[in-house]
Amino acid sequence: ISIDQSYFFSISDPPGCPTRVTPSDIVKDLQAQDIVVIEGEKLHLNIPYRAIPTPKVVWQKDTVECKVYDRISMTVEMNNAHLELLKCTRGDAGAYAITLENSLGTATGTVNVKVIGRIPDSNGVIIKAGELLKLPAVVTGRPQPEVKWAKDESEIDKERVIVDTEGKNSTLFIKKAMRGDHGKYQISGTNSSGTKTAETKVDVMGQC
């Protein structure tokens, strides 16, 4: 799994013939790929190609053509097509298709993008002993990832810790936090594309 993934496909013709954009070769390379992005980070799709004449490039997300605006840019270099999407949100997850077309043919390939939500910010959570600890998270993907929580990379105390997961929303609760509950809490999402993990630090103040 990679946030900034490149794909390369090269199709050769006999000497003297222009290089063709061949749909079967491009689709074969792209359809097997999935990209996972953490919410708030940048998505960069880099598609190298070799085609003469230079093809027209069109990007689509879920069959709707992508347009340039404040968060998205699409550029074409000599042999590379780029799509960059800043500060990804959960709504940016989906199937991104690229179509390359010149006078010799058309090729289309698709990359599935999954956006995994963050849990509370990296500065962590500070609560008083005896208070409710609540860590909400949103985990998205296709297929929907299986969610697992851990504390300091070990299993959580299931006698004291409650995890409520419904669809893409998962929340960890401790009804009355104790000093021993301080530490780093990790949430991971796993599906057929792999595993992504995010974490937050919890500080519990007081004597309880």
> What's residue 9's pLDDT?
38
Residues 163-199 have pLDDT tens digits of 999 988 999 999 999 989 999 999 999 988 888 899 9
DSSP state of 167: T
Pairing of strands 125-128, 183-191: unpaired
Per CATH, domain 125-205 is 2.60.40.10: yes
Residue 25, H or E segment: helix 23-30
Question: CB-side exposure of 9: number of CA atoms within 13 Å?
Answer: 23
Its pTM surpasses 0.75: no
Residues 15-58 have pLDDT tens digits of 444 455 554 445 445 555 678 787 888 999 988 888 888 889 99
Tell me if domain 4-114 and domain 125-205 are identical in fold.
yes
The pLDDT confidence band at residue 3, using thresholds 50, 70 and 90, is very low
42: exposed, middle or buried (Cβ count in 10 Å: 0-12, 13-18, 19+): middle
As a CATH number, domain 4-114 is: 2.60.40.10
- Sequence spans of domains, the chain: 4-114, 125-205
DSSP state of 192: T
**Residue 109 clears pLDDT 70, i.e. is over it:** yes
- Could you tell me what percent of the chain has a pLDDT over 90? 40
Omega prior to 53 cis, within 30 of 0: yes
> What's residue 31's pLDDT?
52
> What's residue 1's pLDDT?
34
User: At residue 160, what are phi and psi to the nearest 5 degrees?
Assistant: -115, -25
Question: CB-side exposure of 52: number of CA atoms within 13 Å?
Answer: 7
